[in-house]
Chains A and B, each alone.
Chain A
Amino acid sequence: MADQSTDTNAVRRTIETVWRIESGRLIAGLARLTGDVATAEDLAQDAMVVALREWPANGIPDNPGAWLMTAARRRAIDQRRRREVLDRTHARLGREADERTADAVDAMDAAVDSALAAKRDGPSVQDERLGLMLMTCHPLLPREARVALTLRLLGGLSTDEIARAFLVPEATVAQRIVRAKRTLRAAQVPFEVPRGAAMVERLDMVLEVLYLVFNEGYAATAGSEWTRAELCQEAMRLARVVCALAPQSSEAHGLCALMELQASRLRARVDRNGAVVLLLDQDRARWDWLLIGRGQAALQQAERLARAADEPLGPYALQAAIAACHARARVASDTDWGRIAALYDALYETMPSPVVGLNRAVAAGMAYGPALGLAMVDALLADAQDAAMLQQYHLLPSVRGDLLYKLGRLDEARAEFLRAASMTRNTRERDLLLQRAGQGA
């Protein structure tokens, strides 16, 4: 025992921290061994309860991860004994379940033994988190359930923390998680890490969930400043974990790059009065240059991997490349809009969504003049389906307003800014749009 602290409060805080650090691996290891996410989480939490009882008296163990794994194993054995009693009572009904448990316990024994044999400073438990992520982001689950389950099992966030971050009642999040675990069990989704194309497809689901979490944090539409920043940080942390566990994935590095480059502008996005500052008006000295450096390095890695696999850049890497163009410009007027327009062309090819189309038009407008930008926006609106999708999107009138303003068509611009202001729910953004409407008048 390394620490004989008798301060119960301090030990409790340490245990919370250990849970944050170890729970993902612990649950992942147990999920692989038992084949069931719900069982794994229960066993891990039971082990934590034992830790809460024993560590204040005995001190924090040297290798808390392996200790918790051992405690979880004991718990599984207890359950197995109970099942044996049950088995004798309901001989026919219980047998099959008991054999499965016995197999799982044997496998766990082996894993724990090897973990304990590993030297003190080595990895405490085999890292199975990638397999767990593929499960929590399984296509069988609804999107919100994937988000909640991933944050809960891999982010170590409590149900309450997730609920506060997404502005939904705690009971809703709890229910999503319970249902998700039930769905995985009912469908007998196997714990596996596939290879090749199947892996790329499954990994995309994981990346999508992480980007959803990041965007929830990045968008100024919900939650307090604090929870928003925390969500961004957690999404970035998990994306870095994915990069470390799936280092050959170009898109994993692309997503990491995209998040770090976007997050590098977080503190410059709002001025001291709380008003939104648009990208081109931001004080670039306030950008986070450590994150920009990391984002650029991750983007280079994504580009290298794509080249080596002889594949085009994926949507995350392309968006990161666009963000990197802004980061490279020391002042806004240095921005290489020609390159950004070309990158949007490539992005529009892989992701022909009207929103990407709108951004592509903005870039073209900056690179080749507002007339071309406006023509491209109006071409999007000529497509009935795109037009219907863009109808509710407040950035459409805001983009048209900007292009019309630059073309000197001030009355039309003013009408578009007013329309955009009436469509956004974000008061800071509304202020900005109304101000622009005033300029156009």
Chain B
Amino acid sequence: MRVMVIVKATAESEAGIMPSTELLEAMTTYNEELVKAGIMLAGEGLTPSVKGKRVRFSGTSRTVVDGPFAETKELIAGYWMWQVKNMDEAVEWVRRCPNPMLSDSEIEIRPVFEAEDFGDALTPELREREDWMRRQTEAGQQ
């Protein structure tokens, strides 16, 4: 299964305080371990939410909201994508991660949807429309 491993923000990360050399070194070693384990697919660190934007949806209206955003602990500071056998394996690897932040922090693990997980929501009609759009696109290319 594929999981997204989400590093949650802290007051320091939101303030743009860079991690110490020691922490950077520990995280680099840990990232190397993930690569050597063959489970790492991707990963990035994110800038503080002050550089982010949100688009709010309400009916037909769209409102753009500039960062920073308030609920620090629910914000995302970085993520990995891992290919693991099950959630236990993901948990075991996260347990081995050095605290990615200078203060108390949290990492969240979320399985990625497989196509089958959409179940009945992706109806045959929706799939037909997908197919139709694809045919139009291809016809346009020819």
Q: Does A290 contact B41, Cβ atoms closer than 8 Å?
A: yes
| Residues of chain A in range 106-130 having any CB-CB distance to chain B below 8 Å | 121-123, 127
Complex Cα distance A361/B30, Å? Answer: 47
Determine if B71 is an interface residue (Cβ-Cβ < 8 Å). no
Q: Does B36 contact A127, Cβ atoms closer than 8 Å?
A: yes
Number of A-B contacts (CB under 8 A): 71
Complex Cα distance A241/B138, Å? Answer: 39
Determine if A222 is an interface residue (Cβ-Cβ < 8 Å). no
Q: Does A241 contact B36, Cβ atoms closer than 8 Å?
A: yes
Determine if B117 is an interface residue (Cβ-Cβ < 8 Å). no
Which of A17-25, A73-81, A402-410, A428-436 lines the interface with chain B? A17-25
1/0 contact string of A1-43 vs chain B (CB within 8 Å): 0100000000001101110110000000000000000000000
List B contacts of A285 (CB < 8 A).
130, 134
Classify the secondary structure of B's interface with A: helix
Given A127-B36, A267-B115, A283-B134, CB of A290 within 8 Å of CB of B81: yes
List B contacts of A17 (CB < 8 A).
86, 88-89, 91-92
List A contacts of B38 (CB < 8 A).
236-241, 244
Determine if A220 is an interface residue (Cβ-Cβ < 8 Å). no
List B contacts of A20 (CB < 8 A).
85, 89
List A contacts of B92 (CB < 8 A).
14, 17-18, 21
Q: Does B37 contact A241, Cβ atoms closer than 8 Å?
A: yes
Most chain A beta carbons < 10 A, residue from B26, B29, B95, B137: B95
List B contacts of A333 (CB < 8 A).
138, 141-142
Determine if A331 is an interface residue (Cβ-Cβ < 8 Å). yes
Q: How many residues of A contact B (CB 8 A)?
A: 35
Select from chain A the residue with minimum beta-carbon distance to B86. A17
Kindly identify which residue among B83, B93, B141 contacts A21, using a CB–CB cutoff of 8 Å: B93
Q: Does A272 contact B127, Cβ atoms closer than 8 Å?
A: yes
Determine if B74 is an interface residue (Cβ-Cβ < 8 Å). no
| Residues of chain A in range 309-333 having any CB-CB distance to chain B below 8 Å | 330-333
Select from chain A the residue with minimum beta-carbon distance to B112. A290
Complex Cα distance A121/B77, Å? Answer: 21
Q: Does B88 contact A14, Cβ atoms closer than 8 Å?
A: yes
List B contacts of A332 (CB < 8 A).
138
Complex Cα distance A391/B93, Å? Answer: 50
Q: Does B29 contact A122, Cβ atoms closer than 8 Å?
A: yes
1/0 contact string of A285-306 vs chain B (CB within 8 Å): 1100011001000000000000
Given A121-B29, A267-B115, CB of A331 within 8 Å of CB of B42: no
Given A121-B30, A237-B38, A237-B83, CB of A331 within 8 Å of CB of B138: yes
List B contacts of A244 (CB < 8 A).
32, 35-36, 38
Determine if B62 is an interface residue (Cβ-Cβ < 8 Å). no
Complex Cα distance A267/B117, Å? Answer: 13
Determine if A45 is an interface residue (Cβ-Cβ < 8 Å). no
1/0 contact string of A149-170 vs chain B (CB within 8 Å): 0000000000000000000000
1/0 contact string of B41-63 vs chain A (CB within 8 Å): 11000000000000000000000
Q: Does A21 contact B134, Cβ atoms closer than 8 Å?
A: no
Select from chain B the residue with minimum beta-carbon distance to A21. B92
Q: Does B26 contact A121, Cβ atoms closer than 8 Å?
A: yes
Kindly identify which residue among B83, B91, B127 contacts A233, using a CB–CB cutoff of 8 Å: B83
Select from chain A the residue with minimum beta-carbon distance to B124. A272
Complex Cα distance A257/B29, Å? Answer: 24
**A354: shortest Cβ distance to chain B, in Å?**
33
Most chain A beta carbons < 10 A, residue from B38, B83, B88, B142: B38
List 9 additional contacts besides A244-B38, A290-B41; criterion CB under 8 Å.
A17-B91, A121-B30, A121-B96, A123-B33, A237-B39, A244-B35, A272-B124, A284-B134, A294-B42
Report 29 cross-chain contacts, Cβ distance below 8 Å, ordered by A residue: A13-B88, A14-B88, A16-B88, A17-B86, A17-B92, A18-B92, A21-B89, A21-B93, A121-B26, A123-B33, A127-B36, A233-B83, A236-B38, A236-B83, A239-B38, A241-B36, A241-B37, A244-B38, A245-B36, A267-B115, A283-B134, A284-B134, A290-B42, A290-B81, A291-B41, A294-B42, A333-B138, A333-B141, A333-B142
Q: Interface on B for A, CB 8 Å cutoff?
A: 26, 29-30, 32-33, 35-42, 81, 83, 85-86, 88-89, 91-93, 95-96, 98, 115, 124, 127, 130-131, 134, 137-138, 141-142
